[in-house]
Amino acid sequence: MREQARRRARQKAERLVNQMTIEERASQLRYDAPAIERLGIPAYNWWGEALHGVARAGTATSFPQAIGMAATFDTELVEKAGDVSATEGRAKYNALSEENDRDIYKGLTFWSPNVNIFRDPRWGRGHETFGEDPYLTSRMGVAYVKGLQGEGEELKTAACAKHFAVHSGPEAVRHEFNATATKKDMAETYLPAFQACVQEAGVEAVMGAYNRTNGEPCCGSRTLIRDILRGEWGFQGHFVSDCWAIKDFHEHHMVTHNPQESAAMALKAGCDINCGVTYLHLLKALQEGIVTEEEITEAAVRVFTTRYLLGLFDGSGYDQIPYEKVECEEHLAVAERLTRESAVLLKNNGVLPLKADDGKTIGVIGPNADSRAALIGNYHGTSSRYITILEGIQDKVGHNGRILYSEGAHLFKDRVEPLAWANDRIAEAVVVARHSDVVVLCVGLDETLEGEEGDTGNSYASGDKPDLMLPKSQRDLMEAVLAVGRPVIVCLMAGSAIDLSLADEKADAVLQLWYPGARGGKAAADILFGECSPSGKLPVTFYRTLEGLPAFEDYSMKGRTYRYMTGEALYPFGYGLTYGDVEVRGAELISREVSADREACPREVFLQAEVVNHGSMGTDEVVQVYVKDLESQYAVPNYSLCAFARIHLEARETKKLSLRVDGGAFYAVNEEGKHIFDSRRYELYVGTGQPDKRTEMLTGHKPVRVDVSFLS
């Protein structure tokens, strides 16, 4: 349906662009496109953000950071979050346009989602992604794009899959770095989520990365943009550079000599919009004969096709969305549900859930306990209300108990007060712990410690982590609080894998909260006090150590992520406990569809699983299916996630669940990057986590194995 609309929009765009001078056409390829008053074209700023809610444009509903959304394993809810973001983006655009406010971040083109693979736990921007697994990332990416863009002929907003491609640090050298990846790793790991966003979700835009990939700068790569994106995948939308990435061509990558050569390289490769200023040199490049009028015109037609699809000239069915939709109760409820589903319970010796009405004294300690920054991650909007973990616990307990609070430590400095002794809040934290019946210890990071190089919250640092350790100030705090001997619940607010070996050994419970959103403290308190059960799963591996991982700069997948690692994780990908006790008791193959040709390649497989909650409390659970290829020499060393589904089970309840595995899960990728079907025997594992010994030990349950063969 949208393809017909695209054809009509392109025809209109061609007619409009044909009325422009070449200077006007070139001006429209800037991210801050100026008005062309004689043609009735208003100014438009293409730069908008909606990573987890509309960002940097004032008030909006605040969702958990993307890594937290991934932990829900809930594609329907993530799509709903995208729809909420689009609704609020439209509401704000409609109202602000009436005031002639066409500033940055206030348009309808959102540079989200980030579907890069979180291959190394040191990467500061990893929390912007949906984790380390290409299948999970593709499912979440497709869901969020569909939510942002809507399903009708018109675009509700225009989503953008970024950063294409092979991009995951190091941040400090991204402007000059060359990411070298084999064709196998490209096709097996780095490209699938982008392909799914293009071919399944019809994403309207793709953004290039700062770095080079296999020698070509990503925003000027003919291989990536022309051959793969537009050629193999049939991408019809527009391509945008990362911000000021094109000037890196001549300033850092040294593949061109001057700005006009850089502008020409990007345009000729298929980059339509320059976030930056290098396309100001396009007319000089035209004068020098290194670009053509036809190339400038084609880029202009593509970007105006998007503007027509958004209804920015002819009007849209979304033009009547009122401003009252911004941060409305319905949208806040979606955010709260996402936060509840995103929390991952990593350990619980029975201390959780707490009781809010038992009159006990609860000590709330830590630099993230009352931190707004730890709620919101990066690329965030503004909330009309923030609820920290401390505030959520205070609201929950009310007058039924006593809450004692200590900051305990600075987030990363060795003292809170500059003139004080080192560790100047630890004594207070110990006193609070001694006077409490139970302690909630809130540690972790925020956007000042993990984020983007040069970003607004991290202006003077690269944003990558040097290791997996918490800052020393927090390690000292944790040791001191745990030594008191009171029951301790560690709440980690961070967007990446952290060394939690001390907490795993000595704490009574560990709850991963990510960056839970502006009002995340309420949902966190609901979980801590048993109003709902935690049900999130880790979308990344929590490693025990960096030993065994390749160098950060090495883009080989060997030894990385659960699919290729050889050691044992502290907390594995796909792992997470609940307040129930859910087990997949049985699973069987129901049907399989194969192609009609003599190869009998698989199209899809259907399973039915019997799932039982042995526990005394109802809970959501995520049933996961992993595939292991038993024959192909090209198979991943371990196994791969290939299906998942959320299910709710009351106490002692048993349900049947149907699961679909796409036929593509049974293909391997050879060294040339080709997907081939060269095996006939597979094992599927159906459970509440991956089929490794560590998950089995932590959960007490083995997955059910189902043998699948495609014998001719």
Q: Which residues are catalytic?
A: 242, 450
- What is the spatial distance between Cα 52 and Cα 77, in angstroms, rounded to a whole number? 12
Residue carrying structure tokens 């593949």: 255
Structure tokens that stand for 46 in this block = 């293409």
Q: Decide: 489 and 508 in contact? Cβ < 8 Å.
A: yes
> Which amino acid appears at position 205 of this protein?
A
Contacts 24+ apart (CB under 8 A), 79-83: 79/143, 79/144, 79/146, 79/147, 80/147, 80/334, 81/52, 81/53, 81/144, 81/147, 81/334, 81/335, 81/338, 82/143, 82/144, 82/145, 82/146, 82/147, 82/148, 82/159, 83/147, 83/148, 83/150, 83/156
Structure tokens that stand for 579 in this block = 């307040």
End-to-end alpha carbon distance in the chain: 39
Tell me which H or E stretch contains 609: strand 602-613
DSSP string for residues in 220-247: G-IIIIIIIIIIIS---SEEEPPTT-TT
Taken in order 455, 457, 458, 464, the sign of the CA dihedral is: negative
433: left (phi over 0), alpha (psi -120 to 50) or beta: alpha
Strand boundaries in 279-427, DSSP class E: 344-348, 361-365, 402-406
Strand boundaries in 556-639, DSSP class E: 582-594, 602-613, 619-629
Q: Decide: 259 and 247 in contact? Cβ < 8 Å.
A: yes
Q: Decide: 308 and 314 in contact? Cβ < 8 Å.
A: yes
Tell me which residue of 163, 157, 104 sits closest to 129, measured CA to CA: 163
In the sheet that holds 178-179, the strands lie side by side as 178-179, 212-213, 216-217
Q: Decide: 227 and 233 in contact? Cβ < 8 Å.
A: no
- What is the spatial distance between Cα 276 and Cα 652, in angstroms, rounded to a whole number? 58
The C-alpha angle 125, 688, 697, rounded to 5 degrees, equals 95
Tell me which residue of 253, 295, 346 sits closest to 537, measured CA to CA: 346
Tell me which residue of 56, 190, 66, 173 sits closest to 463, measured CA to CA: 173
How many other CB atoms sit within 10 Å of the CB of residue 444? 27
Alpha-helical (H) ranges within 99-133 are none
The C-alpha angle 210, 176, 137, rounded to 5 degrees, equals 35
> Which amino acid appears at position 49 of this protein?
E
> Which amino acid appears at position 521 of this protein?
G
Tell me which residue of 554, 545, 452, 461 sits closest to 497, measured CA to CA: 545
- What is the spatial distance between Cα 205 and Cα 208, in angstroms, rounded to a whole number? 10
Three-class secondary structure of residue 704 per DSSP: strand
Q: Decide: 127 and 63 in contact? Cβ < 8 Å.
A: no
Q: What are phi and psi of 552, to 5 degrees?
A: -55, -35
Chain centre distance of CA 179 = 21
- What is the spatial distance between Cα 281 and Cα 283, in angstroms, rounded to a whole number? 6
Tell me which H or E stretch contains 483: helix 472-484
Tell me which residue of 155, 163, 175 sits closest to 209, measured CA to CA: 163
> Which amino acid appears at position 561 of this protein?
T
Dihedral, 324, 327, 330, 334 alpha carbons, nearest 10: 150
Cis peptide before 167 (omega within 30 of 0): no
